Amino acid sequence: MSGQRRQPRVLIYSHDSFGLGHLRRCRAIAHAICEDFEDLSVLILSGSPIIGSFDFRSRVDFVRVPGVIKLRNGEYTPLTLPMAIEDAIAMRASIIRHTAEVFDPDILIVDKEPLGLRGELKATLEVMKKRGVHVVLGLRDVLDDPDLLIPEWTRKKAVPALQKYYDEIWIYGLPQICEPLASLNLPASINRKMTYTGYLQRFTDGTASMELPASARDQEFILVTPGGGGDGEELVDWVLRAYENDPSLPHPSLIVLGPFMQSDRRNEFIARADALPNVEAITFDAHMESLIARALGVVAMGGYNIFCEILSFDKRALIVPRTVPRREQLIRASRAEELGLVTMLRGDKERSADTMATALRHLPQQKRPSDSVVPGLLAGLENVNILTRRALERQPRPSVAARKRA
């Protein structure tokens, strides 16, 4: 039995503590890989404070590292622990390395940050490369405006990290929409590592939303979601003002405020929604896919995950992208609108109630994403599974115990 190949393992690192985007993307990938490989296990390393609110399928688990949060000035601080950020990062780095050493993955998938948050992943990458682990950087379709991305990646020494540690770069999108690293003038050796997978398709798991208000269960509604909610207050306010100023809007709205919205603004929005006969507001739903599947249309800021869900469930969508601190959503929404996949409403201009009301009236008459043909648009999970299988076949590895016996 000592020569028998062990069951494969994949470790996924997600640095973010704030927002839902990175966590939900990693969870979708983990579930897809385990669905395709009957004996494979996935462990997710995350700093998200609400990771325990989500369901995980069999053979997928998580380790939560102490959370940190980015302040408005760009600096990081511990989410809850009263300690210096340097100490928090050192503790996170230690937990990450120890977990990776014990779990001993065949593949390490790093989400977005080549060296992790403030370099916390570097020691782990050194160990994984010595063990022959296949290391992958997973990137969303759009990172940022080139004027911001170039100095950021230069400061973080990201390109040398790609050369030294990474075997592949998986971009979860299509070059027709964006080539996120094109502005960096990368050497050919790095470009050869890139694969565009297409977007990550989402599915309902058959679990009904536990948060759906009774009034929204038997009628069509427009779903309004600012994602995690930490930076979506202006979108929610704009939609509420549209309903407050135009009671004749024909379709009701369900607003999911997000778990990271400031409590005072959340309470204000819930009170305003309660005063309107055709608007409901809830804080959070871990089964957003079921809400989106039921919705008549979607109003969102246009982050990566909601964009994947709009495409997956073929929903008419009105995107109101943020432009600070990153222009990611604006870049994605602009190109998607050019391709006929969504309608975009600029949120950095005058936010009149009439403008939003008109957009909400027109939303149910928009074309669906499927009316525009974009080959390979939703092939992301299928291609991730193919790439995972290739990596495992290319690199069979004995367990730690077997290596020690050798």
Can you give the pLDDT at residue 242?
Answer: 98
Cβ 31 vs Cβ 54: under 8 Å: no
pLDDT digits (tens, 9 = 90+) for 294-335: 999 999 999 999 999 999 999 999 999 988 878 999 999 999
Same fold flag, 9-201+378-405 and 214-371: yes
Helix intervals (H) in 246-379: 263-274, 288-294, 304-312, 328-338, 353-362
Backbone dihedral angles phi then psi of residue 211, each to the nearest 5 degrees: -105, -5
The residue type found at 357 is A
Q: How far apart are CA 223 and CA 238, in angstroms?
A: 14
Say how many C-beta atoms besides its own lie within 10 A of residue 186's C-beta: 17
Say how many C-beta atoms besides its own lie within 10 A of residue 249's C-beta: 19
pLDDT digits (tens, 9 = 90+) for 242-291: 999 999 999 999 999 988 899 999 999 999 999 999 999 999 888 889 99
Pick the CATH number of 214-371 from 3.30.930.10, 3.20.20.150, 3.10.620.30, 3.40.50.2000: 3.40.50.2000
Query: Residue 131: helix, strand or coil by DSSP?
Result: coil
Residue 31 has pLDDT above 70, yes or no: yes
Which of 100, 160, 158 is CA-nearest to residue 130? Answer: 100
For residues 56 and 70, the model is more confident at 56
Q: Strand 76-78 to strand 107-111: parallel, antiparallel, or no bridges (unpaired)?
A: unpaired
Q: How far apart are CA 289 and CA 96, in angstroms?
A: 30
Backbone dihedral angles phi then psi of residue 317, each to the nearest 5 degrees: -140, 140
Q: Average pLDDT of 26-45?
A: 96
Pick the CATH number of 9-201+378-405 from 3.40.50.720, 3.40.718.10, 1.10.3720.10, 3.40.50.2000: 3.40.50.2000
The alpha-carbon radius of gyration of the chain (Å, integer) is 22
Residue 42 has pLDDT above 90, yes or no: yes
- Tell me the C-alpha to C-alpha distance, in Å, between residue 18 and each of 28, 71, 227: 18, 11, 11
With a CB cutoff of 8 Å and minimum separation 6, the contacts of 304 are 21, 25, 140, 141, 142, 172, 332
pLDDT band at 16 (very low <50, low <70, confident <90, very high): confident
Domain ranges of the chain: 9-201+378-405, 214-371
Can you give the pLDDT at residue 2?
Answer: 44
Cβ 210 vs Cβ 287: under 8 Å: yes
With a CB cutoff of 8 Å and minimum separation 6, the contacts of 248 are none
Can you give the pLDDT at residue 17?
Answer: 64
Task: Give the predicted TM-score (pTM) of the model.
Answer: 0.92
Say how many C-beta atoms besides its own lie within 10 A of residue 23's C-beta: 24
Which of 68, 143, 60 is CA-nearest to residue 103? Answer: 60
Residue 213 has pLDDT above 70, yes or no: no
Say how many C-beta atoms besides its own lie within 10 A of residue 329's C-beta: 24
pLDDT band at 1 (very low <50, low <70, confident <90, very high): very low
Residue 15 has pLDDT above 60, yes or no: yes
Q: Average pLDDT of 222-239?
A: 92
Say how many C-beta atoms besides its own lie within 10 A of residue 324's C-beta: 8
Residue 396 has pLDDT above 80, yes or no: no
